[in-house]
Amino acid sequence: MARRDLWPRVEPLLSRVERPARYLNHEWGSSAPVAEGDFAFCMIYPDTYELGQANQAVRILVNAVNATDGMGAERAFLPAVDMADLMREEGVPLFSLESCRPVADFDVVGITLPHELAATNVLETLDLAGIPLRTADRAEGDPIVLAGGPCAYNPEPYAPFFDVILVGEGEEQLPETLALIRELRASGAPRAEILREVVRRVGGAYVPSLYRWRSDEEAQAAGSWAEPLFDDVPCVVHKRVFEGFADSPALEPMIVPYTEVVHDRLNVEILRGCARGCRFCQAGMMYRPVRERSADNIVDAVARGLAETGYDEVSLTSLSSTDHSRIAEILSRVNADCAGAGVRVSVPSQRLDAFGVEMAELVAGQKKGGLTFAPEAGTQRLRDVINKNVTEDDLFAAIDAAFAAGWRRCKLYFMVGLPTETDDDIKGIASLAQRAYDRAKAAVPADQRGSVRMSVSCAVFVPKAQTPFQWDGQISPEETLRRVGLLKRSVKYKAVDVHYHDPATSFVEAVMSRGGREVADWVEAAWRRGARFDAWTELFNEEAWTGAAGELGLDPAAIAQAEFPTDYVLPWAHITAAVSPKFLARERERAAAGITTPDCTFENCSACGACPTLGVDIELQQEREGKEAAPARNPYRTVKEAIR
């Protein structure tokens, strides 16, 4: 079949939609279209270009495929509502950016699952591409449809829509999967055989169609909801990890967009993983173990990246960048290299207990925006429950250092509805924010105190799969509003602003996070009723979700709000992030007792199971320094060199 180019049909549409640059290719640094004869893969982010192009996973995976002989990757993004509707009206299917080729013409299509509220966008993407929504309805000639990303750790609400779901880090896993599919397709293997071989031969690959979904009673007796249909299909799917991360180049080939995108700057990933052990945090469990890139690698990547892209801002990214054992050296060297060039260096993930005077000065730079700190809870009791391992003194020391170094705006991030939370904890948020504002004003000259701003941002707690709080329920939307109202009444300072997330969207997020395969029908029914772009406040269609639940006779509140004992088998028990269920249950018990667990990169192994299960050690550049630091006593920790 001749390669189709949709550009002659797409171009006339661009004058009729907002931000036509979303749909143009040839950005600076973009790769060439897939060569004729190469195995063609299309990587899709299920939201608009502004969000998707900034996503590091999309960049990493496209680069990994393009670096593989005989393969080529192109990008696609979900068009905004105006363009999507116009494309349907004109009969134009979803297209790739590089060659304007129909997505349905690619050999394999991959869709990342960045968060739970992107679920209906996945269906919007498939429908716009002309690909049947469900794997059971796809023909031999349709693309193999893959998924991956954070939501793969509870894949069941997406299970009927994907042929293969890849769990874990994809730098090696994705090219390996594509190479196997290419080999099998070239041999004439039918679709069903390809899927069975993928699950047999690729680590971390989950093929939902090869498992029967058990009833609750069966699942509790068997220890899993998913029953393999064949003896050679694994009972448990273990995540894949990129073992070579620490030594891999920190600079990834990067595209400079024509139009402004979210996080429009050079991004350099300096470490992967976090072992702080916050009990609500899925990322802290699923990206273990911690692996740090070297200072030389990072500093060189920053210098080359700025030169190649022309950006005037670089972000040193990770889950906890100030935890890097050589972060002070890295910042000092980068600042020296960028002196006088007007380049801003940002560290977006800052730990309160690591943000002292030296760190404030190192990240201050010439352009100071706002800082965000995350106490998460308003009282020390609740911070101990969630294992935050920071104190009020840590917050106040960070505020003192930041405002003395020149910052004038700060956002404090909290959660509402955490397990064991009481009204006193809610009032504690108000008290802590007001005292932080007082400290900020005291740290600046008298004539500048009028410019000091403090805001409070409250998210609704969402129980996440693979975390110690996965057995806990979410509070109802009505109770969320009551607690937010109490918080707003408790804040007496007009200079302290309170913002909160919409409890209706957080409710859908909780159902998606905790649900089993039955939730997939809810997603499809909501999409058919008009739900899409649910993460966009102005586009969230609550009636579509409530109507879909009524249509199906589903009780989503029972899914979001139910609490279970730690021996209850949850719908994702057949997927593992390598952190053992025993560890998660033990952490839940310690939470109830208010007992904290230290970070294993500073102290003893916490016996989470990740390192021995994966055969991958914690990799540090040197011993980490801080209040928790102790001599290395962890058998799974490798330290490159001693402290200078």
Domain end call among 238, 262, 282: 238
Domain end call among 238, 257, 286: 238
Task: Tell me whether residue 29 is in a domain.
Answer: yes
Lowest mean pLDDT among 112-116, 259-263, 544-548: 259-263
Q: In what order do the strands lie in the sheet with 618-620?
A: 271-272, 291-292, 618-620, 637-639
Query: Residue with structure tokens 């063609």?
Result: 40
Task: Tell me whether residue 139 is in a domain.
Answer: yes
Q: What is the CATH number of the domain that holds 289?
A: 3.30.750.210
Task: Tell me whether residue 385 is in a domain.
Answer: no
Domain end call among 221, 238, 255: 238
258-276: buried (b, 16+ CB within 10 Å) or exposed (e) per residue? eeebebebbbbbbbbbbbb
Span 42-72, pLDDT tens digits: 999 999 999 999 999 999 999 999 999 999 9
> pLDDT value at position 644?
42
Co-location of 266 and 219 in the same domain? no
Q: In terms of pLDDT, which residue wins out, 350 or 126?
A: 126
Q: 40 falls in which pLDDT band (50, 70, 90)?
A: very high
Structural Rg of the chain based on CA atoms:
24
Co-location of 223 and 285 in the same domain? no
Task: Tell me whether residue 174 is in a domain.
Answer: yes
Domain count, the chain: 2
Co-location of 155 and 44 in the same domain? yes
Q: In what order do the strands lie in the sheet with 344-346?
A: 266-269, 313-317, 344-346
- Is pLDDT above 80 for 628? no
Co-location of 260 and 227 in the same domain? no
Task: Tell me whether residue 299 is in a domain.
Answer: yes
Cβ within 8 Å of residue 356, ≥6 positions away? 397, 398, 401
- Is pLDDT above 60 for 367? no
Span 270-285, pLDDT tens digits: 999 999 999 999 999 9
Lowest mean pLDDT among 34-48, 357-371, 599-613: 357-371
Q: 351 falls in which pLDDT band (50, 70, 90)?
A: confident
Write down the pTM of the prediction. Answer: 0.95
Q: In what order do the strands lie in the sheet with 496-500?
A: 371-376, 409-416, 453-460, 496-500
> pLDDT value at position 2?
67
Task: Tell me whether residue 90 is in a domain.
Answer: yes
- Is pLDDT above 90 for 159? yes
- The mean predicted confidence, pLDDT, of the chain is 94
> pLDDT value at position 450?
86
Co-location of 223 and 143 in the same domain? yes
Q: Are 47 and 78 in contact (CB under 8 A)?
A: yes
Co-location of 200 and 245 in the same domain? no
Q: 369 falls in which pLDDT band (50, 70, 90)?
A: low
Domain range spanning residue 201? 6-167+170-238
Co-location of 224 and 268 in the same domain? no
Q: What is the CATH number of the domain that holds 210?
A: 3.40.50.2300
Task: Tell me whether residue 375 is in a domain.
Answer: no
Report the distance separating Cα 547 and Cα 466, nearest Å: 30
Q: 311 falls in which pLDDT band (50, 70, 90)?
A: very high
Span 562-605, pLDDT tens digits: 999 999 999 999 999 999 999 999 999 999 999 999 999 988 89
Co-location of 108 and 228 in the same domain? yes
Tokens of 126: 């498939």
Q: Which helix (H) or strand (E) holds 345?
A: strand 344-346
Query: Residue with structure tokens 């003192």?
Result: 400
Span 186-228, pLDDT tens digits: 999 999 999 999 999 999 999 999 999 999 999 999 999 999 9
Percentage of residues in the chain having pLDDT higher than 90: 86
- Is pLDDT above 70 for 305? yes
- Is pLDDT above 70 for 643? no
Co-location of 253 and 207 in the same domain? no
Q: 357 falls in which pLDDT band (50, 70, 90)?
A: low
Task: Tell me whether residue 582 is in a domain.
Answer: yes
- Is pLDDT above 60 for 630? no
Co-location of 230 and 247 in the same domain? no
Q: Does residue 291 sit in helix, strand or coil?
A: strand
Co-location of 82 and 230 in the same domain? yes
Span 390-434, pLDDT tens digits: 999 999 999 998 898 888 889 999 999 999 999 999 999 999 999
Q: Are 584 and 565 in contact (CB under 8 A)?
A: no
Co-location of 230 and 158 in the same domain? yes
> pLDDT value at position 355?
77
Span 586-598, pLDDT tens digits: 999 999 999 999 9
